[in-house]
Structures are given as C-alpha cells and as structure tokens.
Amino acid sequence: MHHTLDLPNANASKDREINACSTREKRIVITKDVDFAQSFALHQRPYKLLLVTTGNIGNNDLLKLFENHLAEIIHTFQTHSFVELTRSNIIIRV
C-alpha cells in the first residue's frame, strides 16, 4: 500500500503522477476526488479506482465502513476496475 506521502511530490502530486504510478504498479487508487472518475471514464486511468462518495464522514465511521465492506470490495475488484463506495453500499461503475 502507498499513500501520496510516499510519492516524490507527496501530497502535492498531480493526478497524472498518481495515475501513472497506479498503472505502472497495477494499484488501486482510493479517493474522494471525482476528477479520478472523469480520468477513468476518458482514459481508463488509474489502473483501478475506488471512489468514496460518503460526503462528510468522520475517520472512525469511514474506517468502520471499509471494515464492513472490505471482503466485498476485494471480491468486486477481481472482475471490475471502477467501484464506488457510498455510506450504504458498493456500486460497480463501467
């Protein structure tokens, strides 16, 4: 697992740098930034995308949401490349 802090430009990394790293290393980008959804729709980048669309949510609630859906998220990424996590469910995007 990488965080943007692990990249050469840390949190100042451009989306294209994150996409390039994801594609090169075949990693899933987890983000709340809808710009990545647009990039995926237009260019199939990043390699795989988990878009978190929970709105404002506390860290503990977000962690619990991931814990509750982790097995389903992992399973879904075996056959899909773009997944959205909401407060209530997982949506497969095309």
Structure token digits, residue 18: 């994150």
pTM: 0.93
**pLDDT at position 93:** 94
**pLDDT at position 8:** 87
**pLDDT at position 15:** 94
Distance between CA atoms of residues 18 and 65, nearest Å: 24
pLDDT beneath 70, residues of the chain = none
**pLDDT at position 32:** 96
Closest to 94 in 3D by CA, of 85, 84, 86: 84
